[in-house]
Copies of this chain bind each other. A is one copy, B any other.
Amino acid sequence: MVKPGSLPFDEILYCNIGNPQSLGQQPITFFREVLSLCDHPSILDKSETQGLFSADAIERAWQILDQIPGRATGAYSHSQGIKGLRDTIAAGIEARDGFPADPNDIFLTDGASPAVHMMMQLLIRSEKDGILCPIPQYPLYSASIDLHGGTLVPYYLNEATGWGLEVSSLKKQLEAAKSQGITVRALVVINPGNPTGQVLGEENQREIVEFCRKEGLVLLADEVYQENVYVPEKTFHSFKKVSRSMGYGEADICLVSFQSVSKGFYGECGKRGGYMEITGFSPEVREQIYKVASVNLCSNISGQILASLVMSPPKVGDESYESYCGEKEGILSSLARRAKTLEDALNNLEGVSCNKAEGAMYLFPRIELPQKAIKAAEAVNSAPDAFYCRRLLNETGIVVVPGSGFGQVPGTWHFRCTILPQEDKIPAVVSRLTDFHKRFMDEFRD
Q: Which residues does A use to contact B, with CB under 8 Å? A: 17, 19-24, 27, 29, 32-33, 35-37, 39-40, 42-43, 46, 48-49, 51-53, 69-70, 72-77, 110-111, 113-114, 117, 121, 140, 143-144, 147, 262, 267-272, 292, 295-303
Closest 3 pairs (CB-CB, A-B): A36-B40, A22-B75, A272-B300
Complex interface: chain B residues within 8 A of A69 (CB)? 22
B24 touches A70 (CB 8 A): yes
A144 touches B295 (CB 8 A): yes
Closest chain B residue, CB of each to CB of A35:
B39
Complex Cα–Cα for A117 and B302 (A): 23
Complex interface: chain B residues within 8 A of A272 (CB)? 110, 298-301
Complex interface: chain B residues within 8 A of A20 (CB)? 75
Complex Cα–Cα for A76 and B267 (A): 10
Complex Cα–Cα for A76 and B17 (A): 9
Closest chain B residue, CB of each to CB of A144:
B295
Query: DSSP class of A's interface residues: helix, strand, loop or mixed?
Result: helix
Closest chain B residue, CB of each to CB of A146:
B295
16 A-B interface contacts by CB (under 8 A): A19-B75, A22-B72, A24-B72, A27-B74, A36-B40, A43-B53, A46-B51, A46-B52, A48-B49, A52-B52, A74-B267, A75-B269, A110-B300, A113-B296, A144-B295, A270-B300
Contacting residue for A300 out of B48, B117, B296, B300, CB 8 A: B300
Closest chain B residue, CB of each to CB of A32:
B40
Complex Cα–Cα for A17 and B69 (A): 15
Closest chain B residue, CB of each to CB of A57:
B40
Closest chain B residue, CB of each to CB of A18:
B76
Query: What is the minimal beta-carbon distance from A333 to any residue of chain B, in angstroms?
Result: 20
Closest chain B residue, CB of each to CB of A77:
B270
A271 touches B295 (CB 8 A): no
Complex Cα–Cα for A139 and B73 (A): 25
Complex Cα–Cα for A152 and B33 (A): 46
Query: What is the minimal beta-carbon distance from A41 to any residue of chain B, in angstroms?
Result: 8
Contacting residue for A270 out of B23, B53, B75, CB 8 A: B75
A300 touches B297 (CB 8 A): no
Complex interface: chain B residues within 8 A of A303 (CB)? 300
Complex interface: chain B residues within 8 A of A271 (CB)? 74, 300-302
Complex Cα–Cα for A35 and B77 (A): 19
Complex interface: chain B residues within 8 A of A117 (CB)? 295-296
Query: What is the minimal beta-carbon distance from A266 to any residue of chain B, in angstroms?
Result: 8
Complex Cα–Cα for A354 and B147 (A): 43
Query: What is the minimal beta-carbon distance from A140 to any residue of chain B, in angstroms?
Result: 7
Complex interface: chain B residues within 8 A of A121 (CB)? 147
Closest chain B residue, CB of each to CB of A297:
B113
Complex Cα–Cα for A268 and B39 (A): 11
Question: Can you add 12 more A-B contacts, CB < 8 Å, to A48-B49, A113-B295?
Answer: A17-B76, A19-B75, A23-B70, A24-B70, A27-B73, A36-B36, A43-B52, A48-B52, A75-B269, A113-B297, A147-B292, A272-B298
Complex Cα–Cα for A169 and B101 (A): 54
